[in-house]
Structure 1
């Protein structure tokens, strides 16, 4: 049976481990954000095409509730409503929300069923900068509908790195 002394781990004492961890955390916190750290994973257009494929996306049936002026991009209220009776024959399958300038263009994808009652979702999102937000709804008949809104952000969020 191996015996471990409290306060020492493989020749390192607790103070050295904590000092090293604190130094690493400080170095990461003080590192300036670089352009590479803020680069996007994919374009908004490619994220939308991944969501809808080559299907046409028509304006209408979707209402996007987003404040036009956002004081703090860390917590932005967002609501999406889609005109649909939500019956087994005519309902919303999913709703995708996309942005232009955040590090990841797909903000959220919500899957719905006819039993949902209403095609309405509300959440809070983070916005890196002033940008356009687009919501796209996929209907049970295979059609896609959309709405877009612009948000002016005075204090940005989503700064990775």
Structure 2
């Protein structure tokens, strides 16, 4: 009978051989560190190599008008634009502006829901970046109440 330890060692050895052969990626980092560390919307666009975003009715952002708990705010981003490669959720007044980045292909419907932490009331953006580097956005103001008391 094979022990759990032996099975794990064998699977790690196989994974190592597959990585060495180039079948598996060496790293699984699928994000742009500079974009996530950016402190403004303009800095995020620059880090991603996109142009200045233009407002569009083909991009939508959903979220509450008033968030009782800023630690868990449900947000949604969607677009009907063709040729979108990324869909972003940005919070203007957060210490790090980019909250989420979703890579989009033709096999993926560009409609995503996530939860974000908002430290204070802020404008929230959904930004769609197309294959040619153009950026389109929708904006919504989300008010955060402190302790659910209003504010």
CA contact 1:51–1:96 (8 Å) conserved in 2: no
Q: 1:115 pairs with 107, 110, 126, which one?
A: 107
Map of 1:129 onto structure 2: 120
1:73 is aligned to 2:64: no
CA distance in 1, matches of 2:60, 2:41: 20
Give deviations 1:81-103, integer Å, cap 9, x for gaps: 1013xxxxx33200122112212
Matches for 1:3-152 after TM superposition, within 5 Å? 42-53=39-50, 55-60=51-56, 61-84=58-81, 90-116=82-108, 118-152=109-143
Q: Is the 8 A contact 2:38 2:44 kept in 1?
A: no
| Matches of 1:67 and 1:149, distance apart in 2 | 9
5+ residue gaps in structure 1? 1-39, 85-89, 157-161
The count of aligned residue pairs is 110
TM-score relative to the length of structure 1: 0.61
CA contact (8 A) 2:88 2:128 kept: yes
Q: What are the superposed Cα offsets for residues 38-83 of structure 1, whole Å, 9 maximum, x if unpaired? A: xx96333312332344x24221111000111110001111111101
Contact preservation (8 Å) 2:42, 2:52: no
Gaps of 5+ in 2: 1-36
| RMSD of Structure 2 on Structure 1 (CA) | 2.0
Shift in Å, 1:122: 0.5
Q: Kindly name which structure, 1 or 2, has the bigger radius of gyration based on alpha carbons.
A: 1
